[in-house]
Amino acid sequence: MSNGGCRGGCMYLIVSSPLPLPSFLFGVFFFLFFSLPFSNTLLSCLGHMTDQKKFSAEVRDDNPYSRLMALQRMGVVEDYEAIRHKSVAIIGAGGVGSVVAEMLTRCGIGKLLLFDYDKVELANMNRLFYRPEQQGMTKVDAAKATLEGINPDTTIVPCAYSITAVDQWDTFVESLLTGGVAPQTPIDLLLCCVDNFQARLTVNEVCLQHRLPWMESGVAENAVSGHIQLLLPGTTACYECCPPLVVATGMPEAKREGVCAASLPTTMGIVAGFLAQNTLKYLLQFGTVSEYVGYDAMRDYFPQVHIKANPDCRNRTCVARQAEYAADVAARGEAAHPLHAARQARLAREERERAAAKAKADACAAEWGITVEDKGKHSLAVAQGGGGQDGQGEVEYAYAAGQEDAEAPAEAYVQVDESESIEALMARMKGM
């Protein structure tokens, strides 16, 4: 009985060596006095965990979701709690992917699937998220341990294999098609945070075949620029519609010997922040979901562009998805598509901004007595040196482009006889 554990040993003592009544009562009192407060604390913690599951909007110091639910109270998001039912796959748990995973975990995402076959190295410590004691662990296992400590409500699924391996194709596809929060449902969004083009092409093909929305991100080799891009099969450009040069020309992607890509945690954090923000806007349907955002750290420049799908894309699946989208638009109208509505909202906002800027400029001009006249584009005749219809208020050119200098004096040129010798030519030039 002595090796049977505490419970057996305690039972043996009680049965074999009954204590005197005063000692027994003191023991019961001691147990109740010290165990009940611990039990109440435990129940309180369990109650708080239950509140987390309910996404309580109550503002309390022990409620990790109260600040997030404030977005709903303020009208930014219609239903923030919907994020609990969203599943996101992140390909690549490196400098961008791991930070995005942490941000989404803190935001209360329902489920994360992490794909990366690499291991944590000390060279990764200049980036965010990983710690030195995690060296040697697979990145997805290290991320799972950290993320579950941050928010135990989020389900983390580590997938430590290469998605470009031929023997892992079926496993990868199956994970995406059954990785939703509800059983046997697909993921809601895929985030590609890899550092090679082959993995991007693999993701592009899988998402095209199975109509999965995804976002692509990247940081330049010099670590001072990056981008994010939204790719919706058939609706926007796919990765092969406008591919990088190394993809379009089939150039080998092998890393140059002796060259180490630079890495700045600041750049990666900025790109990861844009990607996580765009993910939240897409999943919770608020704001404008950006189709492409670039980042130039040297100038703090953030260009936004729209890349149309290429009807001559070399990926035949992409062309087929474009035809499906065109047929759907013809049947339901463009307004039925959220992305089209977002585009129209963006165009309307840009038009309002232009109108406001013009009104401000006009007010400033009126205040200082400046008159601005816009005659429109000049005709070709004006560009060649001619005047306008009335000859007033037009641009004056210093010379007529494309015309010979007909009025140049004849003495400005030297007539040379081909039969004349160099000595005779030099003598004649000295006499001028």
The pLDDT value given to residue 114: 98
d(CA 396, CA 213): 55
Domain that residue 80 falls in: 65-243+262-336
Tokens linked to 325: 């989208």
Query: Which strands form 225-231's sheet, in the order they lie side by side?
Result: 155-159, 111-115, 87-91, 189-192, 214-219, 225-231, 292-296
Structural domain contains residue 128: yes
Structural domain contains residue 77: yes
Name the phi and psi angles at 218, rounded to 5: -165, 155
The pLDDT value given to residue 357: 86
Q: What is the pLDDT of residues 148-166, one digit of tens each?
A: 999 999 999 999 999 999 9
d(CA 212, CA 232): 7
d(CA 323, CA 316): 11
Q: Which of 207, 242, 260, 364 is catalytic?
A: 260
Structural domain contains residue 369: no
Q: What is the pLDDT of residues 241-296, one digit of tens each?
A: 987 755 555 656 554 444 457 788 999 999 999 999 999 999 999 988 999 999 99
**Stretch (H or E) spanning 115:** strand 111-115
The pLDDT value given to residue 22: 52
Measured CA distances, 78 to 67, 74, 82, 144 (Å): 15, 9, 9, 30
Structural domain contains residue 348: no
Structural domain contains residue 404: no
**Residues of the chain under the 50 pLDDT cut:** 1-19, 21, 25, 28-52, 255-259, 376-399, 401-406, 408, 410-413
Domain harbouring 151, CATH code:
3.40.50.720
Look over the chain and give the mean of its residue pLDDT values, rounded to a whole number: 78
260 among known catalytic residues: yes
The pLDDT value given to residue 273: 97
The pLDDT value given to residue 251: 58
Tokens linked to 259: 């060259």
**Domains: count for the chain:** 1
Structural domain contains residue 309: yes
Structural domain contains residue 356: no
Q: What SS3 state is found at 223?
A: coil
Tokens linked to 199: 């993995």
Write down how long the chain is: 432
Residue 391 falls in which region: left (phi positive, over 0), alpha (psi -120 to 50) or beta: left
Q: What SS3 state is found at 294?
A: strand
Measured CA distances, 83 to 53, 66, 163, 299 (Å): 12, 14, 26, 35
Q: Is 130 exposed, middle or buried (0-12, 13-18, 19+ CB in 10 A)?
A: buried
Structural domain contains residue 285: yes
